[in-house]
């Protein structure tokens, strides 16, 4: 009997699109669509076991081998640089990493810029490349609030439709990094089950 390929899916909006791709690629697991709060689903017939994890945790599961493969945003790979293989750009979950601020924001380069973000490393690298002094204010969500309340001058965050910025009277200062969902693999799993992982990768690639 073949062993399962363990697949970490990002819970939420992106995860449903990702699972649909796996399903169309021939790796269906109907129980995943049943309502409820279960996190693990398997289909022995096709040899896959899926589990829902927080999007920012997918790379941790894959890096440590709790999952053989997974799907996460390029933002997570850039921010945490996990020791995994990046196998495929799935061309979904497309968005940008951007700097945004209130519409009346004027950058005073004499002063340290206060930057609110979930992505400390991405933001630091971006401003370091410009030789700009910044003070990172790490937040875990609702980043758009920071400039509105005077907590920061700008934010570095993901912009997809731009609706969150618009509805909070913020504007894009610069989009600097395109982001999309990537198929990643644990290095040891890829070595020992490369035939099966490659097959999954090829089947997903054919859907693009």
- In the complex, which residues of this chain contact ligand PRP (CB under 6 A)? 141-144, 157-164
Question: At closest approach, how far in Å is the CB of 197 from ligand PRP?
Answer: 28
Between 90 and 116, whose beta carbon lies closer to ligand PRP?
A: 116
Alpha helices (H) along the chain: 13-24, 58-63, 74-80, 120-128, 145-148, 163-167, 187-192, 194-205
Q: Which of 100, 5, 12 is nearest to 56 (CA)?
A: 12
The nearest distance, CB 54 to ligand PRP, in angstroms, is: 11
> Is the CB of residue 159 less than 8 Å from the CB of residue 176?
no
Q: 150: burial class by Cβ within 10 Å (0-12, 13-18, 19+)?
A: exposed
Nearer to ligand PRP, 79 or 144 (CB): 144
Decide whether 177 or 189 has the Cβ nearer to ligand PRP: 177
Shortest spacing between CB 12 and ligand PRP, in angstroms = 8
If the CB atoms of residues 72 and 200 are measured against ligand PRP, the closer one turns out to be 72
Nearest distance, CB of residue 65 and ligand PRP, angstroms: 27
Closest CA to 134 of 110, 156, 112: 112
């Amino acid at each position: 009997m073949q062993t399962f390929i363990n697949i970490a899916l990002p819970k939420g909006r992106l995860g449903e699109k990702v699972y649909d791709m796996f399903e169309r690629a021939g790796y269906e697991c109907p129980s995943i669509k049943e309502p409820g709060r279960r996190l693990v689903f398997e289909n022995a017939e096709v040899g896959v076991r899926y589990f829902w994890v927080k999007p920012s945790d997918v790379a941790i599961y894959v890096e440590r081998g709790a999952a053989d493969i997974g799907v996460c945003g390029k933002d997570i790979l850039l921010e945490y640089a996990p020791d995994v293989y990046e196998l495929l750009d799935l061309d979904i979950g497309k968005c940008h990493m951007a700097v945004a601020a209130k519409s009346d924001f004027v950058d005073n380069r004499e002063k340290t810029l206060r930057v609110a973000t979930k992505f400390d490393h991405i933001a630091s690298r971006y401003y370091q490349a410009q030789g700009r002094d910044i003070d990172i204010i790490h937040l875990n969500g609702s980043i758009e609030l920071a400039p509105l309340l005077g907590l920061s001058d700008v934010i570095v965050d993901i912009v997809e439709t731009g609706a969150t910025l618009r509805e909070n009277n913020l504007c894009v200062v610069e989009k600097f990094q395109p982001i999309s969902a990537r198929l990643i693999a644990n290095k040891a799993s890829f070595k020992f089950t490369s035939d099966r992982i490659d097959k999954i990768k090829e089947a997903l690639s054919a859907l693009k």
